[in-house]
Structure 1
């Protein structure tokens, strides 16, 4: 047994925030399954996650605003504790990726 095996590894954590249409709900369920299978621990609160994954909407007007708000809120968590990265996925990220970065 190596020394590395003896060190308890802290699980990687991710919070998945889903906004918009029913398609995003399905996509988020699939993402959650893949992340979990890859060893990630899903948490509800982005402030408790190493990665905040925001599944954005770029078509429903209220969800567009919610997407921007969620991204800004998640970004504000970076450097203040656990959150190390914010990842935007979904149609808003695809349509407005340059503007969001």
Structure 2
């Protein structure tokens, strides 16, 4: 682990989203990152969002706003990142990167880049 930042992942949404979250967790662990359950103690928070299920969409927005207000370094993944890129970047300057639904395998490179 050494100098690598601590990562937290917030999973919001459907079953596919959960599987994608588990995939990202595995990639991060393989790369030597420590993943913490506490979003407020982590250096970076990946929020794996959903934009299809209304409740999950509302929860995604609420979570993103709370993390932004806490000045967390945010990476948005999932459907919202895929479908609402411009709006998310405009509304949440705390967002460091977006990872669309087809780019989960690049999460380690994204973390290393930010």
Say yes or no: TM over 0.5.
yes
Cross-structure match for 1:17: 10
**In structure 1, which of residues 51, 59, 68 is the aligned counterpart of residue 44 of structure 2?**
51
Bigger CA radius of gyration: 1
| Greater mean deviation of Cα atoms: 44-53 or 69-78 | 69-78
Q: What is the DSSP-based 3-state SS (H/G/I as helix, E as strand, rest coil) of the residue aligned with 1:17?
A: strand
Matches within 5 A, 1:67-82: 67-78=60-71
CA RMSD between the two structures:
1.1
- 1:17 Cα shift? 0.3
1:90 correspondence with 2:78: yes
Cα distance in 2 for residues equivalent to 1:95 and 1:70: 18
State the TM-score, normalized to the length of structure 1.
Answer: 0.82
User: How far apart are the structure 2 equivalents of 1:99 and 1:72?
Assistant: 13
Structure 2 unaligned regions, length at least 5: 90-114
The match for 1:31 among 16, 21, 24 is 24
How far has the Cα of 1:45 moved from its partner?
A: 1.0
Give the drift of 1:77. 2.0
User: Which segments of structure 1 move beyond 4 Å, counting only runs of 4 or more?
Assistant: none
Q: Number of residue pairs matched?
A: 88
Report the TM-score when normalising by structure 2. 0.73
Runs of 5+ consecutive residues of structure 1 not aligned to the other structure:
1-8
